[in-house]
Amino acid sequence: MTPFLPDSEKLAAVREALPATAAGIYLNAGSVGPLPSEVQRAMAEVAERQARVGRATEDDHLELLERMDEARAAVAAAIVAAPGSIALTHSATGALNIAGWAIDWRAGDRVVTTGSEYIAALGPLSTIGDRFGVELVQAEIGADDEATLKSLDRAITPATRLVVISHVTWTTGTRLPIARIAELAHDRGALLAVDGAQAVGAIPVDVGALAVDFYALCAQKWLLGPEGMGALYVAPTALEHARRTFAGELSYASWDPAAAPRVQPDARRFEIAGYHPPSVVGMARSVAWLSMYVGLEWVHRRGATLAAVAAARLAAIPGVHLLTPTERMATLVTFRIEGWPAAAAFEEISRRSFAIFRTIPALDALRISVGFYTTEDELERFAATVALVAGHTPDSIPPRRTLAILGQDT
């Protein structure tokens, strides 16, 4: 694998390195991406070594700390940040929890979010509101960026301490104007925490240019890494003002049996629990694989191009209603099929096309995640199946072909 292969050869090499792309039309990296063989091997090697020689020595721990440094550095490079601004977490949910609890909340404070956030954001904010008497306000994501900004402008008052919002919404795949939202929040004296779970690895992210205070991400989606790993970017100014109430300040990354615990001078103070060594290695390897061997510029360009192609193809099918705004999209495409409950349409499409995708129950809609490893032929086969379903009702669609196996009950 090399970033400099011609596109056709590169795509073939990428798909060979991602075995799950042969299991069906893989359109669900927005939930869990396909795992590179190289990453699986690296994780297996660590797990095998742990089983063979143990994992309880000081050297084992020091080795883990080095691998954690590598993971932070890989994430930092992917989002254009300094390694010291990255804290490893166990998910984007955990990262957003840290951002929320880093504020020194007082009764009467306000936190602003939107009604389109994932439970990873809404859950912690609801708890903070209940515990501290903080007002939780949900702005609306509008029909365009200006409408969204107007809604946030009304919601963000001088009492607002934190704004929490997605870079790309998990429901419709709407890409939000984060830099402008950051400016609005900062003008009112609030910090901005961004859920980047559907952005990092799918679209270019430069946290400095965006001027965010906190940026949460996870390994298993568009970064094609293991589950149970994530990261939090903490801007230097946010680090200065964050509450220092986390166990990680005095424990994990600073562990040294010959010295007293010390407060970490950077984002490592937010690393609040132990880490699974194979997963740490897997995260570092997956991000590095995308950055160094595939090339993030190619990943972002190809993914966005294919997603736009998929959106246009689906929108052209009679009876299909696109929910993703094509002028503000990333790599998620959400749609409905007229006359079809999402669950019933999902069943028909997945069985007829062998596509791996998902429903969005809150919208009674279907969502595909278009990756750089997807082929044009796969998108056409998926769209053709959608067209077949859209051309019928649940009662009129022809039965799926079945294979009768002689000697067995059918």
Amino acid at 30: G
Of 209, 204, 166, nearest in space to 290 by CA? 204
pLDDT of residue 243: 73
- What are the angstrom distances between the C-alpha of 106 and each of 130, 155, 370? 12, 18, 43
Cα gap 240→230, rounded to integer Å: 22
For residue 10, pLDDT over 80 is answered with yes
Task: Please give the pLDDT value at position 258.
Answer: 57
pLDDT digits (tens, 9 = 90+) for 58-88: 999 999 999 999 999 999 999 999 999 999 9
Distances (CA, A) of 204 to 295, 323, 406: 12, 23, 53
- Taking residues 134-141, report their average pLDDT: 96
396: its two tokens? 């009129």
* Res. 247 pLDDT band, cuts 50 70 90: very low
pLDDT computed for residue 249 by the predictor: 47
How confident is the model over 123-135, as a mean pLDDT? 93
3-state secondary structure of 135: strand
Rounded CA-CA distance 108/265 in Å is 31
Cα(270)–Cα(273) distance, rounded to whole angstroms? 9
* Residue 251 pLDDT greater than 50, yes or no: no
Please give the average per-residue pLDDT across 41-60, as a whole number: 96
Q: Can you give the pLDDT at residue 227?
A: 98
State the DSSP H helix or E strand holding residue 53, giving kind and residue range, or none if neither: helix 37-53
214-225: buried (b, 16+ CB within 10 Å) or exposed (e) per residue?
A: bbbbbbbbbbbb
**Tens digit of each residue's pLDDT (9 = 90 or more) over 329-338:** 999 999 999 9
- For 276, counting Cβ atoms within 10 Å of its Cβ (0-12 exposed, 13-18 middle, 19+ buried), the class is middle
At residue 120, the pLDDT reads 78
Contacts 24+ apart (CB under 8 A), 139-142: 139/112, 139/113, 139/114, 139/115, 140/114, 140/115, 141/114, 141/115, 141/116, 141/169, 141/174, 141/176
Compare 263 and 138 and report the one with higher pLDDT: 138
Strand extents, DSSP E, 76-159: 86-89, 110-114, 135-139
Mean pLDDT of 276-296: 97
- pLDDT tens, 300-317? 999 999 999 999 999 999
Segment 82-103 mean pLDDT: 95
Instruction: Please compute the mean of the pLDDT values over residues 241-251 and round it to a whole number.
Output: 57
pLDDT cut 70: percent of the chain above it = 92
Bridge partners, 112 (sequence order) = 137, 163
Q: In the prediction, which pLDDT does 244 show?
A: 56
pLDDT at 246 over 70: no
pLDDT range class, residue 265, cuts 50, 70, 90: confident
**Residue 275: what pLDDT?**
95
pLDDT band at 400 (very low <50, low <70, confident <90, very high): confident
Average pLDDT over residues 366-383: 98
Q: What is the mean pLDDT of residues 96-105?
A: 94
Assess contact for 409 and 345: CB atoms under 8 A.
no
Does residue 254 register a pLDDT over 70?
A: no
Q: Which two tokens stand for residue 167?
A: 């870079």
**Mean local confidence (pLDDT), 364-389:** 98
Note the pTM of the prediction, 2 decimals. 0.94
